[in-house]
Amino acid sequence: MSENVYIIGAGIHPFGRTDARSGREQGVYAVREAMADAGLEWSDIECAYGGSAAAGNADIMVNELGLTSLPFTNVANGCATGGSALASAQMAIASGMYDLALATGFDKHPRGSFNASPADYGLPEWYGQTGMMLTTQFFALKIQRYMQLHGISRTTLGRVAEKAFRNGAKTPHAWRRSEIDLDTIMNAPMINDPLTKFMFCSPAEGGVALILASEKKMKELGAHGVKIAKIAVKTRPPDSFEVFQAGVSVKEGGKPTVLASQAAFEGAGIGPQDIDVAQLQDTESGAEIMHMAENGFCADGDQEKWLAEGVTEIDGKLPVNTDGGCLACGEPIGASGLRQVYENVEQLRGRAGERQVPNDPKTAYSHVYGAPGLSAVAILER
Amino acid sequence: MAVLAPIDSKLWSDDAEPHLMGGRKPDGQIVFPMPQGDAAQDVEPYKLSRHGKLWSWTSQDFLPKTPYEGRGSGPEEGPPDFVPFLLGYVELPGEVIVETYIAHAKLDDLTLGMDMEFCIVPFNDTHTTFAYRPAGTGA
């Protein structure tokens, strides 16, 4: 029987652009915030897991944090780096081997869209040479078909972005902190039809750290933690449709998000109707819409009504992306998934300030998706 | 004007009416592109259908970063030289859904499931690439 695991400390370095700090320094900042939150010293931490996609190895952080000889494992899992670090830290404690663990992620990307090398993904050179290997295109192609099949309008895409900036304006760690009206969003330059400039997140910078503890350790410290009910990480099943696929199976396959979501709900012993607040991967507006259904919160097509009626607003029945998500915070790949968990920890502890959901949340859900087709879901309970 | 070379010499067949080249796995599954290296073992080259149905589409409205080699990517060029293009997925019934340029069409012309046909189009000053275009729009 594995042990219950709790998050007893959470820290964040504001997302966006911080020219004066490297990605790793932003990570160190977040770790210090998390330790202060938990009332711990670096020497108390027994093991650590962390990573970045473009800002170096996390284990170098010991130079700044202290040479305590703790085992520090680098995690490199693309967009799921944070989720995988969290899952590893949880397993370290659940196994009974450790009582206090750190999960951290940070990043710092150049401006503009991500560019990928075909060879790194086992793809032929022509795919990149002809300009077909862009993550933004995948999301546009996925939502374009989804809109045709399930009656989602362009206005609904705009409403997702409008909500993100409205929530970001209330969030100290967000990058985009000004509201943007629906007309401006809809009439902004097109990036990949049907998605305009304000419907996409941008690569960014930031750092997040979470401190995990066993139940015994939490009680010993007198800390009030948030319980990790279940974490599930799933890679893609056969015949799925993912980013960077020049060919897709004519058989309709499964989806990694659906698999991770089902496994997380099953492990937590609750269902989508029991969730009080959710952070869903929203690298662009269409992703939030599709992920609402893939994570089991609504049927395909219901999003049109949900967005129009404000169901996913902070004061709605199911608040989604309460800190503005990737759209308002930007996407530092290594930190992004942990930001969602940080936000849920703050919401469950009632410490989210202006953006606090008013329904006295007991359960929170986070979901991250990334190349080459993997999803991580974490359900927290208080 | 010099003759343009294919962007990849094995990407489509050299028939008078060329076919995009995929692969057939031992279990009969059709894949695109043809796998490379060890992954190509036991995969037979397979001529994909020249006709299919539009599965999804989008526009590329900004200059892609490297390794993009189309207009706007040259040493003396930049975003103003870039020419936006259309791309999408075309379902080749019973075979595979392929990602492709969409030629001879405007965004507003495109509808889910419309008939598409294979063609070769100029890509940059030196190369051609493949595309699918709405059926019946060929020269």
pLDDT at A93 over 80: yes
Residue B79 domain boundaries: 5-134
Q: Does B103 map to a domain?
A: yes
**Of the partner residues A145, A192, A248, the one whose CB lies closest to the CB of residue B59:** A192
Contact A248 B97 (CB under 8 A): yes
Query: Which pLDDT score is estimated for B1?
Result: 53
Query: Which pLDDT score is estimated for A79?
Result: 81
Q: Does B42 map to a domain?
A: yes
Query: Which pLDDT score is estimated for A275?
Result: 98
Beta bridge partners of A11: A209
Percent share of chain B, pLDDT over 90? 87
Higher pLDDT, A79 or A333: A333
Q: Does B112 map to a domain?
A: yes
Higher pLDDT, A113 or A288: A288
Contact B112, B96 (CB under 8 A): no
Mean pLDDT of B113-130: 97
Q: Which two three-digit tokens encode residue A39?
A: 């009332």
Per-residue pLDDT reduced to its tens digit, B28-87: 999 999 998 888 999 999 999 999 999 999 999 999 998 999 999 988 999 999 999 999
Residue A302 domain boundaries: 5-111+201-381
Per-residue pLDDT reduced to its tens digit, A288-313: 999 999 999 999 999 999 999 999 99
Query: Which pLDDT score is estimated for A1?
Result: 43
What is the number of domains present in chain B? Answer: 1
Q: Does B139 map to a domain?
A: no
Q: Where are the alpha helices (DSSP H) in chain A?
A: 23-38, 62-65, 81-94, 125-129, 135-150, 154-168, 182-187, 215-221, 256-268, 285-294, 303-309, 325-329, 333-348
Mean pLDDT of A324-342: 96
Q: Could you tell me which of A55, A102, A50, A101 has the C-alpha nearest to residue A76?
A: A50
Q: Does A298 map to a domain?
A: yes
Find which of A109, A111, A120, A129 to mutate to test the B interface (most B CBs within 10 Å of its CB): A129
A123 contacts on B by Cβ (under 8 Å): 33
A189 contacts on B by Cβ (under 8 Å): 61
Q: Does B21 map to a domain?
A: yes
Distance CA A23, CA A2 (A): 34
CA angle A310, A311, A314 (to 5 degrees): 80
Q: Does B24 map to a domain?
A: yes
B108 contacts on A by Cβ (under 8 Å): none
Q: Does B53 map to a domain?
A: yes
Contact A246 B32 (CB under 8 A): yes
Contacts (Cβ under 8 Å, ≥6 apart) of B5 = B126, B127, B128
> pLDDT category, A373, cuts 50, 70, 90?
confident
Find the closest chain B residue to A118 by CA distance. Answer: B67
pLDDT at A113 over 70: no
Q: Would you say the C-alpha torsion B53, B57, B59, B64 has a positive or negative sign?
A: negative
Contact B112 A141 (CB under 8 A): no
A247 contacts on B by Cβ (under 8 Å): 22, 31-33, 96-99
Find the closest chain A residue to B122 by CA distance. Answer: A130
State the nearest Cα–Cα gap between B139 and chain A, in angstroms.
23
Q: Does A272 map to a domain?
A: yes
What is the number of domains present in chain A? Answer: 1
B101 contacts on A by Cβ (under 8 Å): 130, 132
Q: Does B49 map to a domain?
A: yes
What residues in chain B have their Cβ under 8 A from chain A's Cβ atoms? 7-8, 11, 22, 29, 31-33, 36, 39, 55-62, 64-70, 85, 87-89, 91-99, 101, 107, 112, 123, 129
Query: How many residues in chain B?
Result: 139
Mean per-residue pLDDT of chain A: 95
> pLDDT category, B139, cuts 50, 70, 90?
low
- Among the residue ranges A185-189, A252-256, A367-371, B51-55, the one predicted with the least confidence is A367-371
Residue type at position B83: V
Q: Does A172 map to a domain?
A: no
State the nearest Cα–Cα gap between A98 and chain B, in angstroms.
41
Contact B99, B88 (CB under 8 A): yes
- Among the residue ranges A79-83, A125-129, A226-230, B48-52, the one predicted with the least confidence is A79-83
* Tally: H helices and E strands in chain B: 0, 9
Query: Which pLDDT score is estimated for A111?
Result: 77
Distance CA A73, CA B62 (A): 38
B69 contacts on A by Cβ (under 8 Å): 129-130
What residues in chain A have their Cβ under 8 A from chain B's Cβ atoms? 112-113, 115, 117-118, 122-134, 137, 140-142, 144-145, 148-149, 189-194, 245-250
Query: Which pLDDT score is estimated for A2?
Result: 66
State the nearest Cα–Cα gap between A164 and chain B, in angstroms.
23
Q: Which two three-digit tokens encode residue A348?
A: 């469950």
Q: Does A27 map to a domain?
A: yes
Contacts (Cβ under 8 Å, ≥6 apart) of A95 = A2, A3
Other residues' Cβ atoms within 10 Å of the Cβ of residue B115: 13
pLDDT at A163 over 80: yes
Find the closest chain A residue to B130 by CA distance. Answer: A130
Contact B58 A126 (CB under 8 A): no
Query: Which pLDDT score is estimated for A174?
Result: 98
The CATH number assigned to the domain holding A349 equals 3.40.47.10
Mean pLDDT of A156-176: 98
